[in-house]
């Protein structure tokens, strides 16, 4: 009987035995929570924030890090469903989730504030309930996931957040928020909200990409749990196409597991190509989201990363926080080979892109796989002309005129000489400049 596919990418990881990485973030967060410190968890969309929240709230995890299952009560609230509620409705939802968390612990909440109907409750009622919780020995940790939705709520004013801050001053309650951007950088329905003292009590923890060791552990350990052993070549391939991104690793691992279970450990180059195509179709929506949420300058720096990173350090830092580039010591690279290929297909004013070739017209520079290469002026002009017509055959006489203008000389060897030098400069990508015998040349996209 075959085991189920152990890779899961349709939602957050809820079982701590399938949770990988984040050791430092986990220990740091739980250490702070043990001291009553509120935490703002910050990270890109689908980077694993919700999975980490569930991991931290797992009794088997937090009891190993200085917290007590008899004292600490985690109550999880998905703020995605709170965007249209008024403040009375919000207090009610918060209290309902607290009571549910008590019930899961087997504790009786009947001695707390009663919720005997569906009417909104006041702040005073909520305050009494939290006070009663404290009197019964509980230290509350209120998890507010997708905090952006709460910040956008038109019915939530600064007093709401100030009230939450007042609770933390009176009772043993800490808040654990999760959002794409730091709390002070979010957009709030009321501009004056940021003046609330609520935002002064948070320590920030940012989630980024996995380390290579974490990525390898996820791939090899999960595959083994499903009864499959990924060969080293497969692991290297899976690290290359998604990069060290938790979700993309799960997606790549899922499809690799299925393919290897069907075809066995010996896979052909065609199998690897098929796996890459399946992965790309699965992540295209995510890649598009990441790209579209970058500013024009961020997009440009991403494409020309190797030549512009020193002149735009703040932009590079934002790209790193957006999880679209990877740092290797002092060097940066695109998230993965698959993402690099996606970016190369995106139109951007002032840049011509054809496969791994990028032409920065403003800087009069050629990048190959993100690295600058040196070309003569005629080679540059020829390559730029072909890149503008990527995939199209351009006749020899048209290329002659494009490079030398009206200075036409009936010398077929002149064009061939420029093509030869261009191919030499392109190295392993030389075959992208393809000769169509008797007609002209084209640059493969």
Where are the chain's structural domains? 22-207, 212-292, 373-445
pLDDT digits (tens, 9 = 90+) for 376-395: 999 999 998 998 888 899 99
User: Scanning the structure block, which residue is given the tokens 């979010």?
Assistant: 186
Q: For residue 182, give both structure tokens.
A: 């730091």
What tens-digit pLDDT sequence spans the chain (445 residues)? 578 999 988 889 999 999 999 999 999 999 999 999 999 999 999 999 999 999 999 999 999 998 999 999 999 999 998 878 999 999 999 999 999 999 888 776 555 555 666 677 899 999 999 999 999 999 999 999 999 999 989 999 999 999 999 999 999 999 999 999 999 999 888 889 988 999 999 999 999 999 999 999 999 999 999 999 998 999 999 999 999 999 999 999 999 999 988 887 778 899 999 999 999 999 999 999 999 999 999 998 898 887 766 668 899 999 999 999 999 887 888 999 999 889 988 888 888 888 888 888 877 888 888 788 889 999 999 998 998 888 899 998 888 888 888 665 667 788 889 999 999 999 989 999 999 988 899 998 8
Task: Give the C-alpha separation, 143 to 98, whole Å.
Answer: 10
Task: Give the C-alpha separation, 368 to 353, whole Å.
Answer: 10
Amino acid 112: pLDDT:
59
Strand pairing of 173-179 and 38-43?
Answer: parallel
143: helix, strand or coil: strand
Q: Please give the order of strands across the beta sheet that includes 139-145.
A: 72-78, 139-145, 173-179, 38-43, 202-207
Task: List, in sequence order, every residue forming a beta bridge with 441; answer none if it has no partner.
Answer: 394, 435
Predicted model pTM? 0.85
Amino acid 142: pLDDT:
98
pLDDT digits (tens, 9 = 90+) for 406-419: 665 667 788 889 99
User: Scanning the structure block, which residue is given the tokens 């017509």?
Assistant: 389
Contact partners, residue 408, CB within 8 Å, separation at least 6:
397, 400, 401
CATH T-level assignment (fold) for domain 22-207: Rossmann fold (3.40.50)
Domain covering 373-445 assigned CATH 3.30.9.10 in the classification = no
Concatenating the DSSP letter of every residue in 4-67 gives: PP----SS----GGG--S-HHHHHHHHHHHHTT-EEEEEE-TTSSHHHHHHHHT-HHHHGGGT-
Residue count (the chain): 445
* Nearest residue to 331 (alpha-carbon basis) of 314, 351, 353, 316: 316
Task: Give the C-alpha separation, 387 to 366, whole Å.
Answer: 11
Phi-psi region of 281 (alpha: psi -120 to 50; beta: other; left: phi over 0): alpha
């Amino acid at each position: 009987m075959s085991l189920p596919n152990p890779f899961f990418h349709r939602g957050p990881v809820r079982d701590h035995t399938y949770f990988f990485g984040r050791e430092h973030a986990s220990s740091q967060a739980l250490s702070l929570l043990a001291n009553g410190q509120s935490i703002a968890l910050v990270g890109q969309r689908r980077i694993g924030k919700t999975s980490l929240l569930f991991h931290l709230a797992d009794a088997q995890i937090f009891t190993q890090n200085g917290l007590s299952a008899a004292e600490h009560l985690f109550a999880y609230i998905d703020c995605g469903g709170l965007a249209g509620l008024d403040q009375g409705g919000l207090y009610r939802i918060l209290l309902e989730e607290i009571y549910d968390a008590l019930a899961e612990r087997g504790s009786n909440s009947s001695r707390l504030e009663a919720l005997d109907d569906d009417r909104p409750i006041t702040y005073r009622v909520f305050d009494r309930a939290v006070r009663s919780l404290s009197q019964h020995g509980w230290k509350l940790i209120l998890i507010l996931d997708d905090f952006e939705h709460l910040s956008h709520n038109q019915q939530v004013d600064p007093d709401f957040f100030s009230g939450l801050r007042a609770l933390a001053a009176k009772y043993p309650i800490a808040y654990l928020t999760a959002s794409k951007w730091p709390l002070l950088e979010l957009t709030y329905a009321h501009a004056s909200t940021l003046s609330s003292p609520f935002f002064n009590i948070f320590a920030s923890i940012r989630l980024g990409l996995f380390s290579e060791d974490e990525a390898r552990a996820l791939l090899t350990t999960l595959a083994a749990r499903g009864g499959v052993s990924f060969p080293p070549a497969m692991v290297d391939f899976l690290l290359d196409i998604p990069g060290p991104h938790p979700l993309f690793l799960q997606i790549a691992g899922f499809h690799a597991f299925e393919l290897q279970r069907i075809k066995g450990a010996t896979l052909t180059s065609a199998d690897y190509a098929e796996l890459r195509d399946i992965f790309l179709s699965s992540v295209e929506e995510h890649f598009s989201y990441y790209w579209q949420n970058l500013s024009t300058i961020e997009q440009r720096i991403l494409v020309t990363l190797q030549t512009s990173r020193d002149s735009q350090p703040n932009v590079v830092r934002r790209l790193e926080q957006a999880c679209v580039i990877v740092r290797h010591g002092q060097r940066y690279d695109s998230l993965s080979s698959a993402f690099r290929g996606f970016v190369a297909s995106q139109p951007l004013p002032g840049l011509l892109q054809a496969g791994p070739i990028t032409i920065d017209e403003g800087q009069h520079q050629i990048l190959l796989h993100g690295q600058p290469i040196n070309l003569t002026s005629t080679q540059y002009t020829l390559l730029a002309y072909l890149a503008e017509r990527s995939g199209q055959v351009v006749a020899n006489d048209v290329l002659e005129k494009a490079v030398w203008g009206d200075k036409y000389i009936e010398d077929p060897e002149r064009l061939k000489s420029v093509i030869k030098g261009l191919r030499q400069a392109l190295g392993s990508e030389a075959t992208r400049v393809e000769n169509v015998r008797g007609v002209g040349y084209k640059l493969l996209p």
